[in-house]
Structure 1
Amino acid sequence: MPEEEWERFLRESVTGAAGAPVEPSARAREVGRRLREGSGQPEGWRTGSPARPQRRMGWYVTGLVAGLALLVVGLFPQEVVGWFGGNDGGRDGAPLAAESESPREAPGAEPALRPTLAEPFRGSPAAHWADGAAGITVPSAKATGWMDPAQVERALRQSRDFMVATGLDSRVLRGERPTKAIALLNPHQEDVQEYLRTALSSTAPAPETNPLLLFSRFRPEQTRLVGDVVKTRGRLTYREGKRGAVEVTADVTFVYPVTPAGNGGRDAEVVRTIVRRTIVMSWDDPAEVITEPGTMSLISHAVDMTNGGCSAPTGYFVPPFGTAKEQPADEAHQIDPYDRSKPIDTGNGTTATGSDCATATRS
């Protein structure tokens, strides 16, 4: 090789010659392969497919509807229950909403099912009522008469305590002395104190001194409660009374499932004694009326009773075991013991039990 050609070869080996072939990069080789295979343009290595927009409008509408529904239920529970048949006795099995106002009609008919020891409220509207004190609605308190809101709240709570002590206390139901209820009564109200002395000491009380006017009692040697649940439905209301007193009215229905004492067989007879009481209590201003702190005066009391006995008063309920179907029907005087839409006929302020029994349309 001539000397000049050798020197040019060495020079171009170091600097590179124009037009010399260049090794393709890896990406270039990939592009070429895809073009040859007809796969189209490659996706950029810093690019990606745009995300598909999510359609959220349906969820917004659903949430709005659910929120409005919860608001309506919170503001108008009674009406909502009525839309779904709740005012017909909750036949779908759901419990009734608390009674916040006087119902407009009686509960709807229930299936004609016989009560049993396992299901003592079967076939009764009471199956959908609350248990015990939970069934007595207490309104919110506001300043009334001589009391501020806190005092009214206490008076309402003690009024409910009185209804519990007279109609739900297990000792009283067994015939024991109603000491808790008596402690809430004004000891200076002479006519009431005389009633208590006579009613709780006599073995044959007169209708006007029958302890059942205020207290629910059964003879334990004759009757026992089925289970430990008494169903209730009712409410308290209040207003300003005489001399600035806070006058509280309690209207409560109690349903007692009972069976003969000593009969523990699976097929034992179960009878429901149903008692509705209306009691008006006056929480008096001590500056106007002689009273003691934490006590109230009785203004009036009335009672309606079903399956509690139709003979002369004994001071105890006498369920008609074995003779319930034999009771004479008084077509002229029938009552639905579950109908709370009508007031009790108070007459002179006191309804005596045992003197004029009506025929119950159901129990």
Structure 2
Amino acid sequence: MPDEEWERFLRESVDGTPDAPREPSARARVVTRRLQESPGQPEGWRSYSPARPKRRKGWYAVGLLVVLALLAVAVAPDRVTGWFGGGDGGAGEPLAAESERPTGAPPGEPALRPTREEPFRGSPAARWANGTAGITVPPAKATGWMSTAQVKVALDRTGDFLAASSLDPAVLRGERPARAIALINPRQQDVKNFLSTAFRTPDEKNDPLMLFSRYDGKHVRPAGDDIRTRGRVSYTEGKDGALRVSTDVTYVYPFVRAEGGDEVARTIVRREVVLDWNDPAKVITEPGTFSLVSYSVDITNGGCGPATGLLSPRFGPGRPAGAGEGPELDPYDRSISMTDRMRNAGDEECGTATRS
């Protein structure tokens, strides 16, 4: 090879020729391979391709579906409600805790009959919490003769009483509420006499249902394990520096017949119990017990007639929401105090409930 050709070869080897092919970058290789493997035009990086607008004839299909849906609601509202998760008649988000007295009654619910699978269907209780979770207890703070820690213990034991008196399965079946009674000051002679008479020979004046929930197991049994509740506990300083605790709770019990069947009947019990955690230096009491100040109860579909000490709900196609001759009352209306409710009920033995 001549010397000038050799020099040109060495020069081009270092500088390269203008039309020599370049080695693609790593990213270029990946993109090229994807383009070869994926047919069609790919979208660019960080790009967006809007969907094609649908043809106008699709709106006619939507309109037809809307018409059919409205027709279904008119013909069979019960079934259509279930399509959208409303089978319990009160479906939706659980209600927030009740921190103060409501300003009005809960809104009306679709007229849906309860079932064994959904015993609270068609009732405001469908959105209530179960058991003690539905009872709001305020934070503790020093009150009267009690420190903050002592108030906390007193509120906890008050909650234990509510659970033992109205939610305990054994007590509901009719057993003696021993745990609940153990929290009541045994030095209260009038209460002691009441309890003795109420469980031995219940009557209108001495009825255990004033404080305890018990059903007639010969005729009914619970429709499931849930007992829906809504209520609150509050406290203030009472006489002689006592911690006065007020409880106002509504309990909803679903029942079925003891001999079987699918019909569900709900019994609604609202109780207001006021109690004092007394200063032992000023009031004779037993440690860890409270003194009852007052107690009242309003029962819907628990049985009308002579007191038996047991809840006896009525069944049957002709069963009204509430059987009675008194004024109409909404058992779910917690905006009315128990004092006003008793006043509105008058002297009638049984009122008429607007819903169950």
TM-score by length of 2: 0.75
Report how far residue 315 of structure 1 moved.
1.0
Match of 2:305 among 292, 300, 311: 311
Report how far residue 25 of structure 1 moved.
4.5
Distance 1:166 1:353 in 2: 27
8 Å contact from structure 1 (residues 105, 340) kept in 2: yes
Aligned to 2:266: 272
Match of 2:353 among 343, 357, 360: 360
Report how far residue 208 of structure 1 moved.
1.8
Answer yes or no: is 1:230 the counterpart of 2:227: yes
Aligned to 2:11: 24
Distance 1:97 1:111 in 2: 21
SS in 2 for 1:158: helix
Q: What whole-Å deviation, never above 9, does each CA across 1:86-112 have from its counterpart, x for those lacking one?
A: xxx994522111112211111111110
Distance 1:318 1:184 in 2: 27
1:163-242 correspondence runs (5 A)? 163-202=162-201, 205-242=202-239
8 Å contact from structure 1 (residues 311, 354) kept in 2: no
For 1:325, the aligned partner's letter is: P
Q: How many pairs were matched up?
A: 296
Report how far residue 24 of structure 1 moved.
2.4
1:1-363 correspondence runs (5 A)? 21=8, 23-26=10-13, 28-31=15-18, 33=20, 91-202=90-201, 205-262=202-259, 264-265=260-261, 268-322=262-316, 323-325=318-320, 330=325, 333-345=327-339, 356-363=349-356
Question: In 2 relative to 1, CA 353–185 (structure 1 residues): closer, same or farther, beyond 3 Å?
Answer: farther
For 1:161, the aligned partner's letter is: D
SS in 2 for 1:324: coil
8 Å contact from structure 1 (residues 213, 351) kept in 2: no
For 2:157, the aligned partner's letter is: Q
Report how far residue 118 of structure 1 moved.
1.6
Q: What whole-Å deviation, never above 9, does each CA across 1:249-291 have from its counterpart, x for those lacking one?
A: 11100000011212x23xx321100000000010001111011
Segments of structure 1 that go 5 or more residues without pairing to the other structure are 1-12, 35-41, 46-53, 55-88
Report how far residue 28 of structure 1 moved.
2.3
SS in 1 for 2:196: helix
Report how far residue 345 of structure 1 moved.
2.2
For 1:311, the aligned partner's letter is: G
Report the identity percentage: 52
Segments of structure 2 that go 5 or more residues without pairing to the other structure are 26-45, 47-87
Q: What whole-Å deviation, never above 9, does each CA across 1:214-269 have from its counterpart, x for those lacking one?
A: 1111111111111111111111000111111101111100000011212x23xx32
Aligned to 2:71: none
8 Å contact from structure 2 (residues 323, 351) kept in 1: no
Is 338-347 or 135-144 further displaced after alignment? Answer: 338-347
SS in 2 for 1:157: helix
SS in 2 for 1:257: strand
Question: In 2 relative to 1, CA 24–224 (structure 1 residues): closer, same or farther, beyond 3 Å?
Answer: same
Distance 1:148 1:158 in 2: 15
Distance 1:103 1:148 in 2: 30
Pairwise CA RMSD: 3.3
